[in-house]
Amino acid sequence: MFAYYLDLALRSLKRNKVLTALMVLAIAVGIGASMTTLTVMHLLSGDPLPGRSQHIFYPQVDASPAGYAKGGPLDMLDYRSAVDLWSAHRADRQALLAGSDVKVRAPDARVPPLMVPMLATTSDFFAMFKVPFRYGSAWTAADAASRARVAVISSNLNDRLFGGADSVGKTLRLKDSDVRIVGVMDAWRPSPLFYDVRAGRFAEGQTSSFYDKPEDVFMPFFSGLEVNDGNFWQFTCWGNVATPGHLQDAPCVWVGLWVQLDSAAKVADYRAFIAHYAQQQKALGRFATTQTRMPSLMQWLVFNHVVPSDVKLQTWLAFAFLAICLFNMIGLLLAKFLRRSSEIGVRRALGASRGAIFAQCLVEAGMVGVVGGIGGWLLTLLGLWLVRRQPVEYADLAHLDIGMLGLTFALAVVASLMAGFLPALRASRVAPALQLKTL
């Protein structure tokens, strides 16, 4: 019976080519606009660590003076607090991090010196955040303990300096120090750059954003501080730096700490641990408050309003436009079905039930949705191509994955069936006796 309905729908669509083209165009344009913005929203608001993000947390304590931090601890940690918490080794994995720009050159490469972003971090960073490697690996615990001058570089920097060849063992000149390359990351593009999110904004002088690419140079935390001392970004300071260029004792927050806790019991224990630490530091007179916070990775992204507000607005506007397209399609389908009242009356007189007429009309609307879905898919690809040409940080992320491709066609068919419901119901209630009298 379904094949019979398909044949009838195809015949009907061929008889009214202009009307069919208008309906297909309406659904295609609506789907194309909505799926373009929905795809961008999906890419920007997705889980950057699927299956693991619920175990990743960002502990915060407050070393600022009384009344300075309102509404909770500052977004980063002062050096002493960060190192204290990290040194306690209370998490399954943990990573300190601090960012800066650094001048880089390769003695063996005919490339002028470059200014690139650098991250000073600890070795757990790579395992905790599932960073892939093309060549080599992360530095060892022995390298970190001995403050060895080693580094991991991005695939992008490796391509620029070494033409993509295996550069493990080669030397980089970072600022005034020689550093040995121990690993080259494979293509890695977390969206957003979740480990470096700070209250919806960044430190003064820092040009990064939520959707920038990862840093080009990664060094062991304490070695990195020695190599590029004085150039690390300070997030917030509440006093003057006593020794210019030396941030370890500065009244500033500029270090981040991420921890991995693999069970609910460990999460509870770590919360108790940072609460006790804050109480202890207040008793020593170093903290003015005992307020702490430890959001999970996804909670931290939500707190920081990571998805740009203009993307959210564009998504709502696109779906409003889709609704307008559906209302237009409802009108076109209603006109089309009512014009066939005589045909429907004859079918009813020959024994077709209201349910059969309703099903036939819905199949026809569904066919419009399938064809419109193909058009919507092509328009979505065009829309994403245009997004990639825009001067926005997330432009290179705008690609249609398999899940969103399936959603494009599903949305097209569901939207067309919704648009066809009322016209199909109206057509199924045509009185056969009245239509037969007009023949």
**Cis before residue 308, ω within 30 degrees of 0?**
no
Phi, psi of 166 (to 5 degrees): -65, 115
Residue pLDDT, tens place only, 395-412: 777 777 787 778 887 888
With beta carbons less than 8 A apart as the criterion, state whether 56 and 93 touch: no
Q: How far apart are CA 263 and CA 398, in angstroms?
A: 35
Quickly state the pLDDT bin for 256 (edges 50, 70, 90).
very high
User: Pairing between strand 114-121 and 217-220?
Assistant: parallel
Residue pLDDT, tens place only, 193-235: 888 865 444 433 333 467 778 899 999 999 999 998 878 887 7
Model-level pTM?
Answer: 0.74
Q: How many CB atoms lie within 10 A of CB 400?
A: 19
Fill in the DSSP letter of residue 397: G
54, with CB counted inside 10 A (0-12, 13-18, 19+), is: middle
Q: How far apart are CA 112 and CA 77, in angstroms?
A: 35
| Residue linked to tokens 């008793």 | 283
| Residue linked to tokens 């007429």 | 357
C-alpha closest to that of 9 among 394, 432, 371 = 371
Kindly state the helix (H) or strand (E) to which residue 118 belongs, with its residue range.
Answer: strand 114-121
Residue pLDDT, tens place only, 99-135: 999 999 988 777 888 999 999 999 999 999 999 999 9
Q: How far apart are CA 40 and CA 311, in angstroms?
A: 8
Contacts for 217 with CB less than 8 Å, ≥ 6 apart = 102, 104, 116, 117, 118, 119, 151, 152, 153, 154, 157, 172, 174
DSSP H helices in 218-340: 221-227, 264-283, 297-303, 309-339
Q: If you average pLDDT over every residue of the chain, what do you get?
A: 83
Checking if the pLDDT of 97 tops 90, the result is yes
Q: How far apart are CA 390 and CA 396, in angstroms?
A: 9
Residue pLDDT, tens place only, 127-161: 999 999 999 999 998 999 999 999 999 999 999 99
Kindly state the helix (H) or strand (E) to which residue 218 belongs, with its residue range.
Answer: strand 217-220
C-alpha closest to that of 319 among 28, 34, 40, 39 = 34
**Which percentage of the chain shows pLDDT scores above 70?**
87
Quickly state the pLDDT bin for 275 (edges 50, 70, 90).
very high
* Average pLDDT rounded to a whole number, residues 180-187: 95
| Residue linked to tokens 């209370």 | 90
**Which percentage of the chain shows pLDDT scores above 90?**
35
